[in-house]
Structure 1
């Protein structure tokens, strides 16, 4: 679904929450703040809601009875252009890293102050409105990054294709859009929480490099630039 930027007062939010009292509280306050709000208690209801009308923001609880919220977060990130804000009682560092690593825009721990939730929503909407609307596929010579299918393919003989994680797709998207330019670490880690940045980015880059080597995509090289970040080099 393509993103159409709208004034904040017209933004539409889906609240995915199976606790009726929590859902009512969030819906009441979001309506009072001027947002249009729909509710979903299950993954099935969420899918019907976003297929009927694309939301701008999804507030997603992880502790749903019938389905794992992390799986739903991955689905939303790959199938929609909505900002995904996880709102959950799961407060461990591992859960926060996982939630952000699969592509969520933010992670809020219950209980929370409604003013903070509204501020996080405004921040997510601003970020989405400023971000460039990217096409499904990004191309560089014979290479094609399919952001929806999460694959990188090469038009060689025979053609080759590798599968990528959501984080690897995000990293390659930034590198491809900035081909031959140095990309600072902050650009590549903007969706990671602060505690995990230094440990994880090099791991993700290393995993991408291994996949490129295994597929013999030798002319696409991610070069480290000491003290700055990385640069994507294509060709001999």
Structure 2
């Protein structure tokens, strides 16, 4: 696995550019709340800017960190996060002041899973789900890909690696796996689900458990189980990918 210093690109909390075109990222300012603010706060912390509480609330502390980041990156200092600030955060080098370890190389490597076809044997579904549930409560960590802390795509990669299946590190690349399902009714346990949260395209992901539930590394509460019908996730559901064969 490559050094985590570039995992900011394309992860579920990446502010990504696709095909060289900037998507309209959310404009955030003091008083903003929610998932997008958590994305921002973790990205700032990852770049080495101090925020006491990453709580999804854009207060004075976050505004100060944004202004400092804008100053250091020669962006007009407004304390308001616009496209220019998102793009700069995308390319900001990691400093990780709180001492998160870079995950060690895997004891055994596996060939990368091919795109566009099912990759998970039905016989391994129960083991994948069991492994996924064993990390319930693990905290969310920006760029995290170990049991010390996961982000959404790092969590999926780790779980599948434990079952001998090597999947990509980032949500947008994971979205290329398997076969697109036309509706949630076609999903089976072990399939993947993707969401479009703060940017266009796949920016969050999880593992479908059946009965309308999925397990994922949530920004606010770490690894947990939610329902696809949840008032937050339902309108942001991008699609499912059938990977069970």
TM range (shorter): under 0.3
Indicate the structure whose relative CO is greater, using CA pairs within 8 Å and at least 6 residues apart.
Answer: 2
Higher helix share: 1
Structure with max Cα Rg: 1
Normalised to the residue count of structure 1, the TM-score between the two structures is: 0.24
